[in-house]
Amino acid sequence: MSIFNVLRGQFIDIIEWNEPAQNDILCYRFPRQNNEIKMGAKLVVREGQTALFVNEGQLSDIFTSAGTYTLTTQNLPILSTLKGWKYGFNSPFKAEVYFLSMRQWTDQKWGTQNPIMMRDPEFGPVRVRAFGSYAFHISDPATFLKQLVVTDPLFETFEISNQLRNVIVSRFVDSIGQAKIAVLDLAGNYDKISKVALEVIKPDLSALGLALTSFLIENISLPPEVEQALDQRTKMGVLGDLNKYTQYRTAEAIGDAAKNPSGMSGLGAGIAAGSAMADQMRSAMSGGGGGGAAPVAPPPLPGSAPFFVAINGQQQGPFDMATLAGKAQGGALSRGTLVWRQGMSGWVAAESVPELATLFASMPPPLPPQ
């Protein structure tokens, strides 16, 4: 042994961990030659840290409060028992010291690798994807050391990120099912779903000595083709009356043709575009899908054009003559009920329409006012 080693052995050891400013280290084992620690050494535990002593693979004493400790048999009671120090001890001893970072680990990402199948009350079976972020911290140092760290001298977050993500996604699927929220209402209920997921995920992380402190949903999305169909449906709702839309596009085409030297060719193109868009949207409303031409319903038979009916202030229909006859017999359609069909300038009373007047031939007229 050199003179330098002899002099160094006379100094009191200091056991501490200075965490780097940028790091992902959850657990750090203090490096020590032969794991020898001098009795009377100083243990420095900083804010947000916990120190654990391990003797021959067995967890002994834990220091959870920040401060500087002088290691003696008094503050190492478990280690003293394991070592058999009954009357004090002053010689160097062997033990491993692990420092755990107890701070909160934020902005951890999660996301579904594959779409989640769910049953929607309006659309039926649908597939959704979701992603977001979460935060966690070590809640039980002893369990964390036993279940995850074991003998790893430098345990970092990436070593458990895949496991945490798999647990979170799996339990998120359960949370979506428990929430029972329609797809179109998911965006307005992220907070509710997050709270449900937070409670469902907690037990799995607790078994690893971890605690989930926050769970955030950033987005839940449908497949592109479904979103495109929803956009088309929204567009139809904004446009409203497709017949009026066709008339508007025709009027625009006429105005453009007056300014265009090509004259009628521009007019024909504009009218064709307006009619084609209206036909396409009518097809979508009747159930036509995205790819390919949607089937076009045949026009009604001559003399049997369907009627729209105003019942309880709501537009209903269109109904054929057989359906209208049934409604007249049931009392839903009366002489004064307002009706309309294509080609009519406005809503009129049913008794003023010749085709419908026959429905009331066997019914008495309303009583005169008293």
Q: Which residues contact 39 (CB under 8 A, 6 or more apart)?
A: 71, 72, 73, 89, 90, 91, 92, 93
Say what the pLDDT of residue 9 is: 47
pLDDT at 278: 58
Q: What is the mean pLDDT of the chain?
A: 81
Residue 96 has what pLDDT? 92
Q: What is the pTM of this model?
A: 0.59
Q: Which of 242, 244, 251, 253 is nearest to 277 (CA)?
A: 242
CATH class name, domain 105-222: alpha beta
In the chain, where the domains are located: 3-101, 105-222, 226-285, 307-360
Alpha-carbon span 115 to 71, nearest angstrom: 55
Q: How confident is the model at residue 301 (pLDDT cuts 50, 70, 90)?
A: low
In the predicted structure, residue 279 carries a pLDDT above the cut 50: yes
CB 278 within 8 A of CB 246: yes
Q: How far is CA 279 from CA 215, 267, 295, 350, in A?
A: 46, 18, 11, 29
- Find how far residue 126's CA is from the centre of its chain: 14
Q: Beta-carbon neighbour count of residue 55 at 10 Å?
A: 19
Asked whether 183 and 222 are in contact (CB, 8 A), the reply is yes
Burial string for 345-358 (b: 16+ CB within 10 Å, else e) reads eeeeebbebeebee
Provide the token pair at 298: 């045949």
pLDDT, tens digit (0-9, with 9 covering 90-100), for 105-125: 999 999 998 888 888 887 788
In the chain, the N- to C-terminal Cα span, in Å, equals 126
Q: What is the pLDDT of residues 50-80, one digit of tens each?
A: 999 999 889 999 999 999 999 988 889 888 8
b (16+ CB within 10 A) / e for 9-35: eeeebebebeeeeeeeebbbbbeeeeb
| Average pLDDT over every residue of 311-324 | 88
What is the pLDDT at residue 47? 95
Q: Which residue has the tokens 């979701």?
A: 130
Could you tell me if residue 209 is left (phi over 0), alpha (psi between -120 and 50 degrees) or otherwise beta?
left
- Are the C-beta atoms of 297 and 282 separated by less than 8 Å? no
